[in-house]
A = this chain, B = another copy of it.
């Protein structure tokens, strides 16, 4: 099977980071392509970044469909443009946040989410609610580091994540911790060893879930919410349409 992985930001260093980690965990017969848009923010740290990353992400979704990939992963922990991607894709699209939220809900009573900056704590709360798993949401834990540092300072991130995880277990009732940024992919095992909690790496979890669903020939439903955009609709200018 062939899985197309989109890093929605424009940091090629983070794209490389994601590719390296997925290369370690993909099944031998799974081919991966990991790409980022040419244009757009080089990290996604707020809703504004999410909007600007949207078009480039959808262009890559269209490309993956055109080139016959079997599934698409959106590898940013806010699932930018996820609903839109499912509308324009005829193959399975998985968002790493949604996948991690649901798997976390299964593996322990409640989960907490490590996020970059305090400003993103409401987003973590809102998205848990939007995905319907708010009763399993314990807390959002800010690392107080910008996204791009997560990629470049693994030891600092891990040390802080261990401390935050322990606090969430003791004070917030968490039993599972989600590393809420693609920039932390590959760090889970070290943090798990120190913290005693189950630590989820959303990129890894979502990727493996994609492999699993592809084995079963499953994709998202196209009935209403993710139905393809109406073809008869004309757009103002040719370049408005990524399809």
Contacts and interface: CB of A to CB of B under 8 A. Distances in A.
Contact of A132 (B83, B105, B196, B204): B105
Interface string A121-150: 111011001111111100000000010000
Contacts of A39: 236-237, 239-240
Contacts of A189: 217
A198 B107 CA distance: 25
A24 to B, nearest CB: 11
A25 interface: yes
A126 B235 CA distance: 26
Most buried by B among A40, A50, A103, A225: A225
A109 B132 contact: no
A32 interface: no
Contacts of A130: 126, 129-130
A133 B40 CA distance: 34
B224 A106 contact: no
Nearest to A92: B107
B205 A41 contact: no
A163 interface: no
Interface string A191-227: 0000011101100110011011101111111011111
A46 B227 contact: yes
Contact of A235 (B42, B84, B175): B42
Contacts of A205: 212, 216, 218
Contacts of A134: 132, 135
Given A45-B233, A99-B106, A204-B216, 5 more contacts: A51-B84, A54-B55, A102-B102, A108-B221, A110-B122
Kindly list the 4 A-B residue pairs having the minimum CB-CB distance in the complex, ordered from nearest.
Answer: A108-B221, A10-B236, A208-B212, A109-B122
